[in-house]
Chain A
């Protein structure tokens, strides 16, 4: 599955530029320039038989002088579990095959899934999923019970990503950084380069920055690339695909007072190339909403996508605690518009550590070509996708992080969060689709441990 792990310009810029200002505080005596180590271990688990993910991140920053340094980051990730294939629930049982199959009746014995719709997932599915991902299921047929959301359980992926960069001051008030990143997954390979320039004003109370990220991706879907819009079951597949992404980031950071710092960023992105999800299909239904017993087409998305984002972040230092609030607005040429609000409150308890509750509210409108289903007999559907990620939904995250200081300037932390997605549109007026939940959403548990220290 192409879950694009494109290095965000933002994340790269953070890794590259962050050390020169904020991290300059934690040093020892003499002329030592200590290196920083920061790591995280994530367990992500969705409800029922959906996705579970184990990810480890390790990052290091080594200063070379007070004004320069290099940094590196390694990410290893293993994901598996069930992923919705885009087909909607039906009144009757449905059969599908995994991506590597070349016929609708592969030789391997069928496995029946009785996956309930996500909203009724309950606890049973959750704890059963604690087992790590085993070998992926290949070339298999699976049946989905009536009323259930079709989910492909064979999804299994491993990601290995490495990035690194160098940053340095130029003169007394300028900084420049450059870096590269590489990422490899079973069906996806990405290479990117990034650069950032910044300049300080007003005794370093104001920083203005511009950054660029250039990325080149190769997509090699498991089982080949289905011809977009072609019929599911025809097995018309082609070879590898590619796409390129360019990002421009412009931002300003302003220390407004002794307590308040604010940052506003504008980012522009242009992506060109293959952006369809090769594993997702769209159900065809007749005028009454009844399916014809298993007619689906592969989804199809435009070859270009321009995205625009405006992000505004604020941190305010209270006498003991801290509060952070941010807003992000995005829109793109696929018609997806989103708004995100995030608030964190950090309750500092000195040597006993800190608690940091966190709330995130997200809202997204569906892409122009998002369709729950297509009219039967659609020969050239144009662009169409039933991928829930391009639908209209709201997302809510509630969590808390606890951190404990260790050693001189280290920290051990644990973060537990609950993420819920709810579709804004979940049903259809068509008779054939009555009583079916077209957009069950998802619930996920996020648990992350962290360790950071200087050495």
Chain B
């Protein structure tokens, strides 16, 4: 008799499956009326975190605005894989201008809509970490400072993937990229400060700043929906693993995103008007090694002999995030949370 292993939708992630939720709490993606803003047929790689993040973020924004949405896109993977001539995967009005100007283009669209009295139409700017934190940074800061009515979403895959995996200011220390190869006395990317874009965004005291990962897509949707409740400049920074650039398995995109949060390397939080208002607690703390080992970009750290000093420095960074953002739960109440959800649904576990 053929044996089939039974898989449950709860895979130890502590993410409640849709069927455990009340209908109004379910994912936008789980609804019949989802807009498929970034529709199928695009040319993203298998396991692309950016495609996943963009799909959830934009569908959530479309739902929040009743489809009254316009997007300005920076040059990058997202632009290239979604609009190879003569095709487009975008089912919303979409403009790609340049690599470094998406926030300013979005500001211009918002200004035009305001002048035309069409403020029910909302504007999203989006790009990767290079387009947001490096070449587009001045435009982003200007858009924040003027408090233009734009939600800017950065899909952070920690390097210039579109041009062949070169280092950006979001590339983590020690990571291998095409121009920070694991050669020489200090292999991989340098240990610098990098740019903490969410904190820089918060320093502008804009109405809303949030971080999210593609491991917790319902959280991402909720944050996009929350962002659309505000007027003015808003920023959502989404952590999106890149199997090609990170040397990770396509099937591990979600797992790696989850590990980034669970190690403390990527703090997940939201802030309003410059103040942190909520933090996603770490459910089960894991050492950074577990995160690093899943990616070939860190493989040089685990050769014989392993670079324990480097791993320790990365761990110290994660520990600092945990202290700084208070990422550890006050008292673990995972079962209680699950029981609350179960109690709230009239269907119970199916």
Do they bind each other? no
